[in-house]
Chain A
Amino acid sequence: MKLSSGMCPGLDENLLRSLRAADIRTVEDLVSSDIEDLAQKCSVSYKALFAIRRVLLAQNTAFPVSGADLYEELLSSTAILSTGNPSLDKLLDSGLYTGEITELTGGPGSGKSQVCFGVAVHIAYQLKQSVIYIDTTGGLTANRLLQMLQTETNNTDEQMEALQRIHTFRLFDVGALLDCLYGLGGGGLHKVCVGGGSVKALIVDSVSAVIAPLLGGKQNEGMSLMIQVAAALKTMAKDFSVAVLVTNHVTRSSSGEVQPGLGVSWSHVPRTRILLERVESGASGRRSATLIKSSRQACLIKEDFDLQWWSRAEGERGGETSGKRKLDETDT
């Protein structure tokens, strides 16, 4: 971070010039250098320089927090959001935790987007909280959300209210994604909450669609952007107490087994990872979910669930909806 005048009291143009002459240009340079030495070189009082150093440090460092205080804060601000599907909730240890990133990974047609729609609808309608949905694949349609809502309630007012709680952003490159996340982080979150209900969930479908094209080759730029996206998502999750759900594609490892995409450097980012796969036998809506990374449940647990759960009708509309479902599945 470059030193500039007015950054703190006592740091005026003259001092800046003498510091630059002594090869001190950034805040880090100033903080790392020997103050006594520097005071002599720039003919400034030791006390003044020491005070400036102290102010700069206080402005720019992260403050230590006691573990007990942090724990208290988390106890009061963390919430668990049910996904609406009991089998998934079992895997996730009751649901999506705020302050954490959960990842859904799977091949094409494995139902990641459908699960995201279902979660968004459940949170907006049942839990009455706002959801931000960032769509990078173009797979989100208001019709589909409405369809799912129509099986929950026949009241059009309630449907509209729930739809209003789902705020969508459609972007197709990583720059736009970063801008959107920074904008939300820098106060956009409050503007987005309208009609009560704070934002409790952020869904990015899919994060690999914008990052995967940048990886490979010389690797520098792409990896750095990926880490920036990771940092932005984590900051959003922690600072605003939001549950972040992202989707990722899969690749095959050298030994032939299926593994989540985006490589080793992304694998530390989500706290929990679930792999979705089609079930060979059974109805077309059946999927199996395997927990491949979790800090709460130690073993690899597998659960079968029904993609049609979020749109389950009371019985009579079952036939119609399954027909429409087949059409949408081939899109994802």
Chain B
Amino acid sequence: MSESGTQLFARLEARRCLKDVEPRLFADDGGPDRGEVVEVYGPEGTGKTELLYHLLCRCVLPEAAGGLEVDVVFVDTDYSLDMFRLASVLDSRLNAGGSAGSDDAVLRLCLSRLLVVRCSSSSQLLLTLHFLETTLSSRPRAALLLIDSISAFYWSDRSEGGASVAKQEEKLSRCSELLGRLLRDYRITIFATCHPIRRGSNGPPSSSEADRSHLCRAWQRLVTHRLVCSRQEAQHNPANGDEGSGEQRNWQVFTVHCSSWTGTKGSRVSSFRVTDGGVEFIWTPRPPPDLSAVL
């Protein structure tokens, strides 16, 4: 297929590598490289959405405020994007960045780096991904594709496909193949959330059967990193003095268990809590390097 000079250039020109998008989540130097896919898996209430907003903010903020200044394409299949929450996290990051108060213009500039697409069925998702190809080629700064969530059409596809598993998985397989091609051709990075379909046990995330992906093979083959999110019991934090009257706050702590299949195979467990300003990582002592890699 012929392409114009600008299209060819846009395709070949290197997009920003996102290895350093959040080093606290991934094992040493194990962040997602160009062309890699991170699946964020976890039941409701485990902080997946907050994590996505955290990554989004990191990507669209100006470098002065600690961001990467890249364009992000957000595919919303759940109708769950909360722009107000996103704007408030961006605002608090801009203010904390020490710049002389964030004004509206900077906030709008950051938000204009974000492109939102809403899909209501897996056929529409497939067609939209085809359409996004032209969008990607006209936006050389777009380095991240966020899909929330990739499992939204699981039940509708299953019921439409009838008894044949192949038919049920057909649409998602096609989407995955297309995503694979976009990854190869445009060298972007993909983060996708996936909701589980049954309640898993609350045991250690690396061993439970229930955390196995229920999506089609084609998708599972694409995934190179997996972040499994879970929620811990609310922990008591002694009054920090900045609370004033010494009231105790129960912080909900969320843990993320990261496993990677490429480059440095490894795993990492990190924890965070959610404040008004977004995700705040809790420092945990680094475990000794895991020689028997957990997969």
Contacts and interface: CB of A to CB of B under 8 A. Distances in A.
Interface in B9-59: 43-45, 49
Given A64-B132, A65-B115, A293-B45, A298 B275 contact: yes
B114 A66 contact: yes
A22 interface: no
B129 to A, nearest CB: 9
A142 interface: no
B199 A220 contact: no
Interface in B127-159: 127-128, 130-132, 135, 149, 155-156, 158-159
Given A68-B108, A70-B83, A268 B155 contact: no
Contacts of B79: 231, 234-235, 237-238
Contacts of A67: 60, 74, 83, 86, 111-116
B197 interface: yes
B120 interface: yes
- Say whether chain A's binding surface is mostly helix, strand, loop, or mixed: helix
A14 interface: no
A152 to B, nearest CB: 31
B113 A267 contact: no
A80 to B, nearest CB: 11
Contact of B80 (A34, A63, A228, A268): A268
A252 interface: no
Contact of B196 (A66, A264, A300): A264
Interface of A: 1, 27-28, 31-32, 34-36, 57-58, 60-68, 70-71, 74, 78, 220-221, 223-224, 226-228, 231, 234-235, 237-238, 253, 263-265, 267-268, 271, 293, 295-296, 298-300
Contacts of B198: 264
Interface in B112-126: 112-120, 123-124, 126
Contacts of A264: 43-44, 195-199
10 contacts: A31-B130, A36-B1, A60-B124, A64-B135, A66-B115, A67-B60, A264-B199, A265-B195, A267-B43, A300-B234
Contacts of A237: 79
Nearest to A228: B156
B111 A74 contact: no
Contact of B178 (A32, A57, A62, A231): A32
Contacts of A227: 155-156
B159 A223 contact: yes
B155 A265 contact: yes
Contacts of A35: 1
Contact of B127 (A31, A224, A234, A295): A31
A220 B127 contact: no
A35 B78 CA distance: 32
A269 to B, nearest CB: 8
A276 to B, nearest CB: 18
A27 B174 CA distance: 13
- Say whether chain B's binding surface is mostly helix, strand, loop, or mixed: mixed
Contact of A57 (B116, B131, B234): B131
Contact of A271 (B80, B111, B123, B130): B80
B85 interface: yes
B230 to A, nearest CB: 14
Contact of A70 (B80, B116, B178, B251): B116
Contact of A63 (B117, B155, B160): B117
A195 B249 CA distance: 48
B87 interface: yes
A57 B78 contact: no
A264 B156 CA distance: 16
B213 interface: no
B250 interface: yes
B44 to A, nearest CB: 4
A63 B114 CA distance: 13
Contact of B124 (A34, A61, A271): A61
Nearest to B139: A64
Which 9 pairs show the lowest CB-CB distances between chains A and B? Answer: A67-B114, A224-B159, A67-B111, A267-B44, A68-B111, A234-B79, A223-B155, A68-B112, A61-B131
B290 interface: no
A71 B84 CA distance: 8
B3 interface: no
Given A28-B127, A298-B252, 9 more contacts: A32-B178, A65-B115, A66-B111, A66-B114, A68-B114, A71-B87, A224-B156, A264-B43, A264-B198
A28 B195 contact: no
A115 to B, nearest CB: 22
Contact of B130 (A57, A71, A224, A295): A57
Nearest to B275: A298
Contacts of B74: 67
Interface string B69-87: 0000110001110111111
B195 A268 contact: yes
B159 A220 contact: yes
Nearest to B273: A298
B274 interface: yes
A28 B125 CA distance: 10
Please indicate which of the listed interface residues A35, A67, A221, A295 has the most CB atoms of chain B within 10 Å of its own CB. A67
Given A60-B124, A220-B159, A293-B44, A299 B73 contact: no
Contacts of B49: 295
A258 B293 CA distance: 38
A251 B135 CA distance: 46
Contacts of B132: 64
A296 B118 CA distance: 22
Contacts of A64: 73, 115-117, 132, 135
Nearest to A299: B250
